[in-house]
């Protein structure tokens, strides 16, 4: 039961972030949504979530490329909904290209959105959580926070960075009843991955079907996508009171990927 709690979730207009927002709202928690997309569609999602769950759902349009806007999103949670109990740093993008051809602007964007926004949001949330005497920070890293794949240098560097940042924050807040953990999903079928099927097919000169089975799911021993419900399970544990001693850790939900 998350009633009375407020979750701020970056990148929650789609995919994993939206699934986690639904999980919080379904358990009675209020939510600040964030992310890119068509304003009318975002407003439909917001209103539907609010009505179906009977909770307050707000939207903040912060662009994760800009630190001040990220901090503003967290402050908005406090001003608008009264508290910030749960922060989920989830927004992320991918670009698939060899290092030698990797565009500098894509490198800078991936580091800013996937790594630096986590710093800006966390820094803004800590004083609020300290004043409340409790907090839960969940960073959506990746199996690529623990191991690498070719053609994903910026993403792999950013996600390894997220795991290092997660450990540091956990140590700093260990006596403040604020935990900070990373979830490391394997491949989950979301718009982010759909785009990669085409990229991998192009880079490897194979069909999309072959790219999916032999390249994308090659590393995932279960040979199927992780589902968003499977991620929701570990997330709900981490934000619960039972998760109080789980901090500074990375939780692999990756179909066995990093066991190899």
Q: Which is nearer to ligand NAD, 157 or 174 (CB)?
A: 157
The DSSP 8-state label assigned to residue 255 in this structure reads T
Residues contacting ligand NAD: total by CB under 6 A: 29
Distance of alpha carbon 52 from the chain centroid: 23
- Please state, in angstroms and rounded to a whole number, the distance separating the CA atoms of residues 105 and 119: 20
Q: Does 13 bind ligand NAD (CB under 6 A)?
A: yes
Strand order across the beta sheet in which 250-253 lies: 57-60, 30-34, 6-9, 86-89, 135-140, 178-185, 250-253
Q: Which stretch binds ligand NAD (CB under 6 A): 44-52, 86-94, 99-107, 198-206?
A: 86-94
Contact call for residues 57 and 34 (beta carbons, < 8 A): no
| Nearest C-alpha neighbor of 181 from the set 140, 126, 127 | 140
Q: What contacts 44, CB < 8 A, 6 or more positions away?
A: none
Q: Which of residues 97-116 bind ligand NAD (CB under 6 A)?
A: 113-114
Window 113-132: residues binding ligand NAD (CB under 6 A)? 113-114
Burial status of residue 189 (CB atoms within 10 A of its CB: 0-12, 13-18, 19 or more): middle
DSSP state of 80: H
Which residues in the chain belong to E strands, given as ranges?
Answer: 6-9, 30-34, 57-60, 86-89, 135-140, 178-185, 250-253
CB of 185 to ligand NAD, least distance (A): 4
Residue 255 engages ligand NAD in binding (rule: CB under 6 A)? no
Beta carbon nearer to ligand NAD, 11 or 135: 11
What backbone phi and psi angles, to 5 degrees, belong to 88?
-115, 115
Question: Judged by CB under 6 A, does residue 93 bind ligand NAD?
Answer: yes
Residue from 5, 7, 8, 17 binding ligand NAD (CB under 6 A): 17
Piece of 24-32, 130-138, 181-189, 206-214 that binds ligand NAD (CB under 6 A): 181-189
Q: What amino acid positions are annotated as catalytic residues?
A: 155
Site track 192-211 with ligand NAD (rule: CB under 6 A), x = hit:
xx------------------
Residue 65 as a binder of ligand NAD (CB under 6 A): the answer is: yes
Of 20-28, 31-39, 118-126, 244-252, which part binds ligand NAD (CB under 6 A)? 31-39
Residue among 148 and 174 whose Cβ is closer to ligand NAD: 148
- Rounded least distance, CB 219 to ligand NAD, Å: 11
Contacts with ligand NAD, residue ranges (CB under 6 A)? 11-17, 34-37, 63-65, 90-93, 113-114, 140, 142, 185, 187-188, 190-193
């Amino acid at each position: 039961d998350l009633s009375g709690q407020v979750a701020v979730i970056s990148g929650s207009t789609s995919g994993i972030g939206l699934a986690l927002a639904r999980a919080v709202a379904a358990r009675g928690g209020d939510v600040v949504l964030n992310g890119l997309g068509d304003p009318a569609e975002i407003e439909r999602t917001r209103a539907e979530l609010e009505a179906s769950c009977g909770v307050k759902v707000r939207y903040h349009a912060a662009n994760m490329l800009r630190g001040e806007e990220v901090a503003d999103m967290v402050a908005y949670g406090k001003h608008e909904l009264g508290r910030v109990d749960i922060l989920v740093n989830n927004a992320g993008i991918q670009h698939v290209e060899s290092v030698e051809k990797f565009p500098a602007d894509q490198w800078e964007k991936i580091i800013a959105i996937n790594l630096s926004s986590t710093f800006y949001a966390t820094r803004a949330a800590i004083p609020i959580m300290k004043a409340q005497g409790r907090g839960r920070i969940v960073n959506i890293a990746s199996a690529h926070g623990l191991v690498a794949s070719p053609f994903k240098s910026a993403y792999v560097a950013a996600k390894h960075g997220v795991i290092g940042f997660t450990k540091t924050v956990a140590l700093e807040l260990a006596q403040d009843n604020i935990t900070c953990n990373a979830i490391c999903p394997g491949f989950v079928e979301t718009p982010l991955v759909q785009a990669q099927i085409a990229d991998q097919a192009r880079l490897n000169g194979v069909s999309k079907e072959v790219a999916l089975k032999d390249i994308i799911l090659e590393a995932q021993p279960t040979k199927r996508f992780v589902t968003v419900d499977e991620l929701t399970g570990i997330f709900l544990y981490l934000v619960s009171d039972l998760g109080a001693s789980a901090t500074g850790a990375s939780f692999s939900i990756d179909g066995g990927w990093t066991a190899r």
